């Protein structure tokens, strides 16, 4: 005699759980940022950011922080600025557009090493109409060498 009980799982009851588990995998970057290698000259370092807007609306402004890290992992310089909009350049970034922005980071002393890595994080992205975007929709990757 079979003593096992079999239950039929209702897919409509499990769908919300599965959707919540897969949501992070389905989310795509709406602002794709490529970080070029650091170029140093004496007491200044320049980091070029190339940004592509995949949002369906304009990006009015975006603020980012850039940290320069040496080969031991020590932060040797940093800067924060509006890379889209803000400041004097209030021009929003249209959907599908590509923008470039330079981070210029100054130091009191010349940089000892030229083997620096830029770590960039976005702290605020404001879309058309003043709506804040989720920072998780920004993808920051190093440029291919």
Please state, in angstroms and as integers, the Cα–Cα distance from residue 134 to each residue in 53, 54, 104, following that order: 14, 14, 26
Please count the structural domains in the chain: 1
At residue 109's C-alpha, the angle toward residues 78 and 41, to 5°, is: 75
For the residues of 78-103, what is the DSSP string, one character each? Answer: EEEEEEESSSS--PPBPTT-EEEEEE
pLDDT digits (tens, 9 = 90+) for 84-136: 987 666 789 999 999 999 999 998 888 877 789 999 999 999 999 999 999 89
The domain in which residue 34 lies consists of 29-142
Rounded to an integer, what distance in angstroms lies between the CA atom of residue 110 and that of residue 34? 26
Whether 117 maps to a domain, the answer reads yes
The CATH number for 134's domain is: 2.60.40.1620
Whether 3 maps to a domain, the answer reads no
pLDDT digits (tens, 9 = 90+) for 12-28: 555 555 544 444 444 46
């Amino acid at each position: 005699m079979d003593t096992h009980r079999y239950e039929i799982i209702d897919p409509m009851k499990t769908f919300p759980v599965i959707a919540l588990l897969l949501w992070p995998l389905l989310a795509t970057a709406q602002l794709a940022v490529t970080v070029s290698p650091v170029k140093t000259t004496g007491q200044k370092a320049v980091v070029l950011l190339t940004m592509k807007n995949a949002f369906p609306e304009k990006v009015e402004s975006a603020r980012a922080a850039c940290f320069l890290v040496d080969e031991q992992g020590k932060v040797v310089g940093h800067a924060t600025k509006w890379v889209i909009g803000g400041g004097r350049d209030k021009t929003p970034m249209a959907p599908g557009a590509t923008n470039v922005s330079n981070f210029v980071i100054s130091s009191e002393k010349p940089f000892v090493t030229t083997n620096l890595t830029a770590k960039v994080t976005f702290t605020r992205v404001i879309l058309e109409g003043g709506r804040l975007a989720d920072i998780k929709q920004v993808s920051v990757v190093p440029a291919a060498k």
